[in-house]
Structure formats: C-alpha cells, structure tokens
Amino acid sequence: MYLATRHLVNLHEKLVCIYRNSSTLRWRERATKCLNPTPMNISVPECQSSDMWLFSNKESASSLSAVGSLGLNFTNDPLPGFALDTSDSTRVPTIDGPYRLEWRIRQAHNKKKNNEEVSLLSLNLTSTLSSMDMESVQESVRQTVKWMKTLRHPNILNWIAGTDMTGPKVPNEYHIVTERVVPLRDYLRLKADTGNFHFISSWGIHQISRALAFLNDDAKISHNATRLDAVFVTSSGEWKLGALDFAGPVDSPPPAIRATASFVYMNQTGGGEYAYRLTV
C-alpha cells in the first residue's frame, strides 16, 4: 500500500490545486501547472500561459495542428467489426505515451454487439524512431495488452479488442478497443468550474485507490507509471486506471526499459515541448 499511497497523494495534490485555482480566468492560467503529467519528485519547466486551452471548451486550431506535426495521422479504418462515430468531435483527445509518442482517443461503436459504445486508442508507429526505441515501444504495447487482458477489476481499464502484433511485420498503427472513456485530463477540463468538483475528485481518487490496492495487495503488481494520463473516466463517471506499459512484480525493481521512456507534452502553440523521465 505504500506505493499506492504515494501515487494517490500526488494525484490528490494536483486535483486540489486545480479546484482552488479554477474559479477565475486569471487563476486558471496558474492552475495549468497542476496538470503537468509529472510523477512525484520530478522537476520540469513550468507551463506557459498559452497552456490555458486545457481548461477551455474552445477548440484550438494550433493544438490540432500540433497533433499532426507529431505524426498522428491515422487512417479512418479502425479494427474489423468497429466503426468510428460519425458525430465525433473534430478535436481528438490525445494522451502522453512512452518514447515521445501519443495515443489518440476516438469514439466508436461495436457493430457485432448492437453498436455498443466503445473507445478506440490508436498509436502511430511510423514516426521516426530508432530500431531500439521501436522494439521498446512494441514491448510496452505488448505489456499493456497482456495486463489489460489478465487483470479484472471495476477500476482497471477494460480491454475489448486490439491489433494483432504476432506477425513478422510491425503494423503502421496499433489500436486498442476499450469501454467508452475520455482521458482524465479532458474530463477535468470540463468539470473544473462545477460546484461539485470536490466530490468528483474525491470519488475518483477513491476509485483509483481501489485499483492500486488491488494491484499491490491482491495481484502483487506495481503500476510503475501512475500519472494523470494513466487515468480515464467512463460516461457514468467511473475512474479507470490504464497505461500498464511498465507494470511488474511489486517486490521487484521497475522494468529496465522504463528508465528510457521519455514522455512528451505539447502546449497550445505546439512549441514549448519538454520531456521527462520517470524516476518513481
């Protein structure tokens, strides 16, 4: 429970900071620093005021262009049996992934199960990576899928389907189908000014604590990368823990590849990029 407690304290501090600083537009600019996907005890450059789009419902053309500049140009055809929602917003949420890549999250439905609502997490594998990085990316994806298939808990993100990576050729894109969710980052942007934000955040932290307690105490697994972009929220407000790339035995050191897993965050203008390495 020690690891779970450390991660929860970190997440709680970020949520409290958002709540206290989101009442006015001027303070919202300061509140963005609370949303940095920063693990405990990591020092990174402060966000600029241009990062305020995280707390705005207005779409940012520059943020959308930044997505394309990162090599996030995906095909429109998802996995067989799943179709993208035609009414989906033009703004496609992304979350930070390891090795300076980002997962794109689109809403879809399962044509085989009465058009059940699902989410499609997509990763473009055609960006410029060294052969060593590509091998690490593939391994992290395999680990995520393995744990999502194996672990069953109400607050662990549910795996439904995914791209086959057993063949000799690496696919250009990798997709994971999950229950319908939105990234916690986007969810907080919508809820930051609501009167019940304190209740929402407290309930969410309680749910993530259940997931971490299950991993640490029951499954004897350490998440090893708990952060803002590892949490997702369902349409009913349930918080789910995902991003299991570096999960491993709780009594063993984190996987060696985690030491080189740089994460990336882009501000509104597409500039001001920074990376950090996980050390907790």
What is the rounded distance in angstroms from the CA atom of residue 84 to the CA atom of residue 115? 11
Terminal CA-CA length for the chain? 15
| CATH match for 2-205+217-276 among 3.40.1190.20, 2.30.30.100, 3.30.200.20, 3.50.50.60 | 3.30.200.20
Instruction: Tell me, yes or no, if the pTM score tops 0.85.
Output: no
pLDDT higher than threshold 90 for residue 221: yes
Dig out the tokens for 183 from the structure. Answer: 């990234």
Q: Is 262 helix (H, G, I), strand (E, B) or coil?
A: coil
pLDDT tens figures, 225-266: 999 999 999 999 999 999 999 999 999 888 776 766 665 443
The pLDDT of residue 132? 57
What is the rounded distance in angstroms from the CA atom of residue 208 to the CA atom of residue 272? 31
pLDDT higher than threshold 80 for residue 123: yes
Backbone φ and ψ for 262, nearest 5 degrees, come out as -70, 140
* Degrees, nearest 5: CA angle 242-4-214: 65
The pLDDT of residue 220? 96
Q: State CA 203 to chain mean position distance.
A: 19
pLDDT tens figures, 9-61: 666 666 655 545 544 443 344 444 444 444 433 333 343 333 323 333 333 33
The pLDDT of residue 258? 73
The pLDDT of residue 8? 63
The pLDDT of residue 260? 63
118-144 in b/e burial notation, b at 16+ Cβ within 10 A?
bbbbbbbbebebeeebeebbeebbebb
Helical pair 197-213 and 184-191, crossing angle rounded to 10 deg = 160
How does the average pLDDT of the chain come out, rounded? Answer: 72
